[in-house]
């Protein structure tokens, strides 16, 4: 198969755009196939942890003009509002305990996506303003046809086309999917009290209610509720919703007003059974979907991106079997336990079983009391224990990393480590 490009990236969500930019910076010929969707009307903000921020810095979009419109996350607080017999103590995670001045930054998605799009254009990435409509894979490459009738060929394709990924199906990759009896209401609001850069996750019986600080006296809200109750909340007037938020924040942020646009997200989980196959690599929600608890979703996706770029580095054929096998092993090792931990935390709130509630309360008490355990939890929240890809590492010497160097032979040797 003759290839005009090294890599096709399908989908221009935050995962696909980041991947296209990173691979272009690595000198790859990239085709980004994504239909422009116009202005982003998405009330979500995303809390991006320090490793993700280092990737954005490497891509050249941070700090720049974004800094003034985003907010550092100075502390994270967990508050037990379940009303359970087993009440867990409140926990405050302070990044100073692990040598960081902030966990990360909170970005409006409506700022991040245009910034990444502008960067992709400035890097001269070939943009096909169309959807992928079909995919064909061969032993030496992959080609896609687009809704504009174009055919594009490359050595490898990154499936960044979201949870209903067409490329994932074309690769023959199956998924495990499940639904939670929850919806997430995302919005923002203003308040009279200072948030002090603290994000608070109030754990309630229907799921977490999380405030995430934004610049000034403003916060984002992610409120998980049973679907019927969430639909009722969507139907409230702004003043009524402000009153509900006031109750759930216990007045800790003062008086609530100026509710922003709202959107409801049904809560599902998904994990691909393979993370790469047949010259197709899954990144972002094409590979994994988790409920918004502990701000893990996009942070995991950006590690997908950085890991894929590392494994391709220095390879004449970036879609060869060894690259895909290593990618599958590394991402499986990061994504699966994290997804299970989020699932367990969520189900321990929803189940109503005393034993599970007791287990959760005990776990949180231990984390609150024992510094080493608390620090381990914080470090795990920021990065997998086996290390980070190249552009996400704090410094070349400081963070353990098993792979990564530009030399493919070194990487091959290290890939044996994870078998
Ligand atoms: C309420 C809420 C709060 C969240 N908060 C956080 C947080 O604080 N921190 C965090 O890390 N994560 C968070 N997340 C998760 C995060 O928002 C998602 O992981 C992320 O937005 C998904 O990005 P993506 O690029 O993988 O997928 P998407 O944004 O879904 O992008 C997929 C793209 O592919 C396109 N596409 C689809 N089919 C095709 C095709 N055939 N051809 C070409 N293109 C196609 C789509 O149009 C879309 O643009 C949150 C999620 C929710 C719901």
The band of 354, judged by pLDDT with boundaries at 50, 70 and 90, is confident
Contacts of 251 (CB under 8 A, 6+ apart): none
Residue found by looking up tokens 């079997």 in the block? 321
Question: What angle is formed at CA 171 by the lines to CA 169 and CA 172, rounded to 5 degrees?
Answer: 65
If you average pLDDT over residues 345-363, what whole number do you get?
A: 86
Partnered with residue 77 across adjacent β-strands are 92, 200
Cα–Cα distance list, 86 to 82, 362, 370 (Å): 9, 8, 19
The band of 396, judged by pLDDT with boundaries at 50, 70 and 90, is very low
What SS3 class is residue 57? helix
Least Cα distance to 222 among 252, 254, 248, 258 occurs for 248
Q: How far away, in angstroms, is 286 Cα from ligand 1 center?
A: 9
Pocket of ligand 1, candidates 8, 9, 12, 13: which has the most ligand atoms within 8 Å of its Cβ, to mutate?
Answer: 13
Q: What is the mean pLDDT of the chain?
A: 92
pLDDT for 37 equals 76
Nearest CA to ligand 1 atom 37: 161
Contacts of 337 (CB under 8 A, 6+ apart): none
Taking the CA atoms of 117, 298, 385 and 412 in sequence, report the sign of the dihedral they define.
Answer: negative
| pLDDT (tens digit per residue) in 73-113 | 999 999 999 988 888 899 999 999 999 999 999 999 999 99
Nearest CA to ligand 1 atom 38: 161
Plot region of 104 (φ>0 → left; ψ -120 to 50 → alpha; else → beta): left
Pocket of ligand 1, candidates 36, 44, 143: which has the most ligand atoms within 8 Å of its Cβ, to mutate?
Answer: 44
pTM: 0.94
Plot region of 42 (φ>0 → left; ψ -120 to 50 → alpha; else → beta): beta
* Nearest atom, ligand 1, residue 212 CA: 8
Q: Is the pLDDT of residue 257 over 50?
A: yes
| pLDDT (tens digit per residue) in 142-173 | 999 999 999 999 999 999 999 999 999 999 99
Nearest CA to ligand 1 atom 6: 46
Cα–Cα distance list, 130 to 14, 100, 150, 152, 216 (Å): 17, 42, 9, 12, 39
Q: Which residues sit with their C-beta closer than 6 Å to ligand 1?
A: 10-16, 33-34, 44, 46-47, 131-132, 160-162, 166, 184, 186, 222, 265, 284-285, 292, 295-299, 301
Contact 126, 23 (CB under 8 A): no
Instruction: Tell me the longest C-alpha to C-alpha distance in the chain.
Output: 65
Pocket of ligand 1, candidates 11, 15, 201: which has the most ligand atoms within 8 Å of its Cβ, to mutate?
Answer: 11
Pairing of strands 91-93, 75-80: antiparallel
Least Cα distance to 281 among 312, 315, 324, 329 occurs for 324
Contact 267, 182 (CB under 8 A): yes
Least Cα distance to 305 among 5, 95, 11 occurs for 11
Nearest CA to ligand 1 atom 52: 292
| pLDDT (tens digit per residue) in 188-230 | 999 999 999 999 999 999 999 999 999 999 999 999 999 999 9
Least Cα distance to 160 among 32, 313, 318, 55 occurs for 32
Q: How far away, in angstroms, is 162 Cα from ligand 1 center?
A: 6
What angle separates helix 408-418 from helix 321-350, to the nearest 10 degrees? 40
Give CA 27 to chain center in angstroms: 25
Nearest CA to ligand 1 atom 11: 298
pLDDT for 3 equals 59
Pocket of ligand 1, candidates 292, 334, 339, 382: which has the most ligand atoms within 8 Å of its Cβ, to mutate?
Answer: 292
Report how far apart the first and last C-alpha atoms of the chain are (Å, whole number).
31
What SS3 class is residue 272? strand
Q: How far away, in angstroms, is 188 Cα from ligand 1 center?
A: 19
Tally Cβ neighbours within 10 Å of residue 395.
7
Q: How far away, in angstroms, is 353 Cα from ligand 1 center?
A: 33
What SS3 class is residue 129? coil
The 8-class DSSP code of residue 142 comes to E
* Nearest atom, ligand 1, residue 131 CA: 42
> How far apart (Å, rounded) are the C-alpha atoms in residues 221 and 219?
7
């Amino acid at each position: 198969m003759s290839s005009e490009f090294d890599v096709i990236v399908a989908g221009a969500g935050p995962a696909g755009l980041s991947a296209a930019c990173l691979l272009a910076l690595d000198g790859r010929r990239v085709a980004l196939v994504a239909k422009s969707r116009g202005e982003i009307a998405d009330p979500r903000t995303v809390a991006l942890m320090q490793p993700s921020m280092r990737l954005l810095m490497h891509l050249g979009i941070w700090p720049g003009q974004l800094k003034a419109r985003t907010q550092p996350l100075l502390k994270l607080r967990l508050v037990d509002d379940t009303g359970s017999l087993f009440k867990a103590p409140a926990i405050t995670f302070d990044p100073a305990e692990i040598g960081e001045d902030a966990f990360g930054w909170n970005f409006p998605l409506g700022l991040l996506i245009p910034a990444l799009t502008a960067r992709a254009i400035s890097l001269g990435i070939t943009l096909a303003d169309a959807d992928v409509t079909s995919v064909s894979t061969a032993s030496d490459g992959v080609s896609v046809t687009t809704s504009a009738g174009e055919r594009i060929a490359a050595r490898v394709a990154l499936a960044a086309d979201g949870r209903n990924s067409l490329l994932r199906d074309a690769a023959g990759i199956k998924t495990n999917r499940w639904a939670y009896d929850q919806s997430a209401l995302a919005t923002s609001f203003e308040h009279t009290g200072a948030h002090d850069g603290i994000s608070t996750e109030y754990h309630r019986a229907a799921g977490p209610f999380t405030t995430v600080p934004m610049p000034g006296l403003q916060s984002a809200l992610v409120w998980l509720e049973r679907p019927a109750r969430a639909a009722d909340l969507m139907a409230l007037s702004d003043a009524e919703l402000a009153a509900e938020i006031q109750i759930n924040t216990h007045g800790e942020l003062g008086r609530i007003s100026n509710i922003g646009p709202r959107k409801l997200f049904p809560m599902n989980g998904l994990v691909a059974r393979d993370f790469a196959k047949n010259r197709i690599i899954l990144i972002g929600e094409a590979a994994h979907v988790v409920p918004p608890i502990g701000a893990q979703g996009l942070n995991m996706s950006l590690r997908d991106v950085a890991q894929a770029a590392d494994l391709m580095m220095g390879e004449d054929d970036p879609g060869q079997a060894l690259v895909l096998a290593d990618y599958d092993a590394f991402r499986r090792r990061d994504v699966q336990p994290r997804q299970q931990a989020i699932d367990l935390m969520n189900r321990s709130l929803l189940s109503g079983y005393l034993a599970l509630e007791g287990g959760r309360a005990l776990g949180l008490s231990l984390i609150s009391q024992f510094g080493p355990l608390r620090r381990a939890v914080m470090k795990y929240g920021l990065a997998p224990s086996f290390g980070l890809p190249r552009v996400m590492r704090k410094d070349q010497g400081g963070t353990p990393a098993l792979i990564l160097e530009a030399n493919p032979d070194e990487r091959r040797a290290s890939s044996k480590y994870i078998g």
